[in-house]
A and B are shown apart, each in its own frame.
Chain A
Amino acid sequence: MTLDARLVVARPAFTLDVALRVAPGEVVALLGPNGAGKTTALRALAGLTPMSGGRISLRGRPLHTLPAEGRPIGMVFQDYLLFPHLSALDNVAFGPRCQGVPRAEARRAAAVLLERVGLADRAAARPRELSGGQAQRVALARALAVRPELLLLDEPLAALDAHTRLEIRSQLRRHLADFDGATVLVTHDPLDAMVLADRLIVIEGGAVVQQGTPAEVARRPRTDYVARLVGLNLYRGVADGSRVTVGELALHTCEQLEGPAFVAFPPAAVALYRSRPDGSPRNLWQARIEGIERHGDNVRVHLDGPVTAFADITPAAVADLDLSAGQRIWVSVKATETHAYAA
């Protein structure tokens, strides 16, 4: 294990306490809502926020006893923090220079890195002359230039517009794949996390609430936050065979379970009817429309009833059904579209 850490940061109204293990070459994403403590965790790893407890060991050596400048890390900040008075090349050469590499050599190494991120022609540019995507790549090159054993990325794509983000995300994925140290990535964007990370650690309120591969987490969310992130309706109930009781509602699933269980289904699996449908599917209940909003190409309908749920339907369906807020409506979900797992 390259990185093995328990990070404890106690603040008056908040305590972060998370354990973290990252294998060589592995990319771990810390995912969580704003204020969950994920950036604090990253700063603690970097030595920028003092820890009130815990330890960090990197390749078996203690890291938490070293100041930030003594840690073999590279960090990419959310808004990059490229030094505005230095050219792109000198930004990248900054780290090696601090490590005592002669100027000419540091600049040569920096040029190679800029070439690798595809910015050889922007070496002389000042940060304010760079586009967001270019600045992000310079920031990555700068972090990699110190040959870190641990790479820390704080919301690396958050400052980019949607289009650039797509492109930079795939580039970043390639660069992370080439990197053989441990990588810890902080993001609130599930897509970034899914694409970039080998493993997700979901943090809420300063504690780890779920971890696993992106596929596991996406399939089996364990908190409302994760469910929302991955776009699923999620309920916690008690299973008895193929039936899970959630409050007053009994949901039929395909899995056989006993005891506390989660049931999840995507909003697109929810069908809406003006009147009680014939052939009566297994999961049917009446709900009230709380709100209707655009969601991508579809329309998302917020439903309140025995359980709250989201339904994604086409705009045409909205017109056909003549839906409006406050209306009562029939809701159905096929058992085959649901997924139940032990809580």
Chain B
Amino acid sequence: MSSTAPEQLDVPGPRGRTARGREVTGRPPWMLVVPALAGLAFLILPLAGLLVRAPWSTLLQRLAEPHVLEALRLSLVSATIATAVCLLFGVPLAWLLARVEFPGRRLVRALVTVPLVLPPVVGGVALLLVLGRRGLAGQWLEATFGVTLPFTTAGVVIAEAFVAMPFLVISVEGALRGADQRFEEAAATLGASRWTVFRRVTLPMVMPGVVAGAVLCWARALGEFGATITFAGNFPGTTRTMPLAVYLALETEPEAAIVLSLVLLAVSVVILASLRDRWVSAP
């Protein structure tokens, strides 16, 4: 009787992952390589343009100027805080969109991407209309707590977070949708509450997506210009971030603008590359 087992179902085990990465042999097709190279050139040629025109002889001297360092510090600090804010609110929002059925979910998902399509300057105006001195929430904030957001570093953070949050939400939601929910079920059978499941199972499993989203979010916040200058204004030390400094420098000293841009680029590339090695490409 034992030998009559009619079928031996070939169910892929948890180690099936190794079998998936089958080597594809042969040369990469030109149909992909040519556009890929064209795309790459399109992305990096403008950078090359900046490098060629950079005033290398006076570079160090320009970099040492206090207002450059001040703007750089402000940019890094505000982009980092904005990313933290986005993580704090964006990850739960992504979870809600990915895991909870509620009426109007599709609409909410579309609304989340609004800052992506809204011209940032309009976003800045919209923020002013809500959080400005005469804004609905802004009036209340000033009357109740004596807090005004425009023209403050907090305002910079808010403008950057507004524009950058969709990148995080979309990335994390995608990761959540891609994650195998049965792990969450397994955790539930072990007595884990939904909060524990989120904290100890869901979040660690989508961590690569969260990090990728945070990196995108940070990069977007670092380069943010329109919403920042509109909502937070432009004052050295408090709200003049690197992109604003670059724009102003363009008015008078295009070379200085190039230097500032290169600094911004170099710093972000170094940070992103190191993060990527550590997190994003991790299996």
Contact A142 B190 (CB under 8 A): yes
Which of B6-14, B37-45, B116-124 lies on the face that meets chain A? B6-14
Q: Which range contains the number of A residues in contact with the other chain?
A: 35 or more
What per-residue 1/0 map shows which CB atoms of B88-111 lie under 8 Å from chain A? 000000000000000000000000
- Among candidates B1, B6, B15, B193, residue contacting A132 with C-beta atoms closer than 8 Å: B15
Q: Is the C-beta of A127 less than 8 angstroms from some C-beta in chain B?
A: yes
Instruction: Pick the contact of A190: B5, B12, B15, B205 (CB < 8 A).
Output: B5
Measured CA separation A83–B17 after assembly (Å): 15
Q: In whole Å, how far is B203's beta carbon from the nearest beta carbon of chain A?
A: 10
Are B189 and A48 interface neighbours, CB within 8 A? yes
Whether the Cβ atoms of A230 and B4 lie closer than 8 Å is yes
Contacts of A158 in B (CB 8 A): 9, 11
Q: Which of A205-224 contact B (CB under 8 A)?
A: 218
Residue on B with the closest CB to A80? B14
Known interface pairs A81-B186, A296-B3. Does A98 touch B192 (Cβ–Cβ under 8 Å)?
yes
A204 within 8 A of B: no
Interface residues of A in 233-278 (CB under 8 A from B): none
The 3 closest A-B pairs by CB, nearest first: A231-B4, A95-B190, A159-B13
| B11 and A75 form a contact (CB under 8 A) | no
Is the CB of B177 closer than 8 A to any CB of chain A? Answer: no
- A46 at the A/B interface (Cβ < 8 Å)? yes
Q: How far is the CB of B198 from chain A (nearest CB, A)?
A: 12
Q: Find out whether the CB atom of A218 lies under 8 angstroms from the CB atom of B191.
A: no
Q: Are A146 and B191 in contact (CB under 8 A)?
A: yes
A99 smallest CB distance to B (angstroms): 5
Q: How far does the alpha carbon of A190 sit from the alpha carbon of B14 in the complex, in Å? A: 23
Q: In whole Å, how far is B202's beta carbon from the nearest beta carbon of chain A?
A: 10
Bound: A231/B7 CA distance, A = 12
Contact call A69/B183, Cβ cutoff below 8 A: no
The verdict on A84 contacting chain B, using a C-beta distance below 8 Å, is yes
Q: Of all chain A residues, which has the CB nearest B192?
A: A98
A35–B187 CA distance with the chains assembled, in angstroms: 25
Closest partner residue, chain A, to B8 (CB atom): A162
User: What chain A residues lie within 8 Å of B190 (beta carbons)?
Assistant: 69, 74, 94-95, 98, 142-143, 145-146
Query: A78–B185 contact, CB under 8 A?
Result: no
A159 touches B11 (CB 8 A): yes
In whole angstroms, how far apart are the Cα atoms of A127 and B15 in the complex?
Answer: 9
Residue A123, interface by CB 8 Å: no
Instruction: Collect the chain A residues with CB atoms within 8 Å of residue B278's CB.
Output: none
Q: Is A313 an interface residue (CB 8 A)?
A: no
The smallest beta-carbon distance between B13 and chain A, in angstroms, is 4
A128 interfacial by beta-carbon distance below 8 Å: yes
Q: Quick one: CB contact mask for A86-114 with B, threshold 8 Å, 1 for yes?
A: 10000000110011000000000000000
With A83-B201, A94-B192, A99-B191 known as contacts, the answer to whether A229 contacts B185 (CB < 8 A) is no
User: Can you list 6 contacts pairing A with B, beta carbon distance less than 8 Å?
Assistant: A69-B188, A75-B186, A81-B183, A81-B186, A85-B204, A98-B196
Query: Does A182 belong to the interface (CB within 8 Å)?
Result: no
Q: A170: shortest Cβ distance to chain B, in Å? A: 13
Q: Does B200 contact A (CB under 8 A)?
A: yes
Residues of B within 8 A of A135 (CB): 13-15
Q: Which residues of B contact A132 (CB under 8 A)?
A: 13-15
User: Which residues of the partner chain A approach B182 to less than 8 Å between Cβ atoms?
Assistant: 77, 81
Q: For chain A residues 135-182, which have a beta carbon within 8 Å of chain B? A: 135, 142-143, 145-146, 152, 155, 158-160, 162
Query: Is there contact, CB below 8 Å, between B186 and A67?
Result: no
Consensus secondary structure, chain B interface: helix
The reply on B144 being an interface residue by CB < 8 A is no
B205 touching A85, Cβ below 8 Å: yes
A131→B14 CA distance, assembly (Å): 10
User: B189's contact among A75, A160, A297, by CB below 8 Å, is which?
Assistant: A75
Tell me if B2 is interfacial: C-beta within 8 Å of chain A: yes
Known: A47-B189, A48-B185, A68-B188. 14 other contacts (CB 8 A): A46-B185, A68-B189, A69-B192, A74-B190, A75-B186, A95-B191, A127-B14, A132-B14, A135-B15, A155-B11, A159-B14, A194-B1, A229-B6, A230-B4
Return chain B residues, CB-CB under 8 Å to A297.
Answer: 3
- CA A74 – CA B17 in complex, angstroms? 26
Which residues of the other chain, B, contact A295 by a CB distance below 8 angstroms? 3-4
Residues of A within 8 A of B196 (CB): 98
Q: How far is the CA of A131 from the CA of B186 in the complex (A)?
A: 20
Fill in one digit per residue for A41-53: 1 if any B CB lies within 8 Å of its CB, else 0.
Answer: 0000011100000
Q: Known contacts being A75-B186, A84-B205, A230-B4, is A98 close to B14, with CB within 8 Å?
A: no
- A189 CB-CB contact with B under 8 Å: yes
Residue ID in chain B nearest A189 by CB atoms: B5
The proximity string for A residues 27-57 relative to B, scoring 1 for CB distances below 8 Å and 0 otherwise, is 0000000000000000000111000000000
A46 — nearest CB in chain B belongs to which residue?
B189
Which chain B residues border A69 with CB–CB below 8 Å?
A: 188-194
A1 within 8 A of B: no
Contact status B15-A48, CB under 8 Å: no
Asked if A82 is an interface residue, CB under 8 A from chain B, the answer is: yes
CA of A94 to CA of B182 in the docked complex: distance in angstroms?
16
A73 within 8 A of B: yes
**A188 CB-CB contact with B under 8 Å:** yes
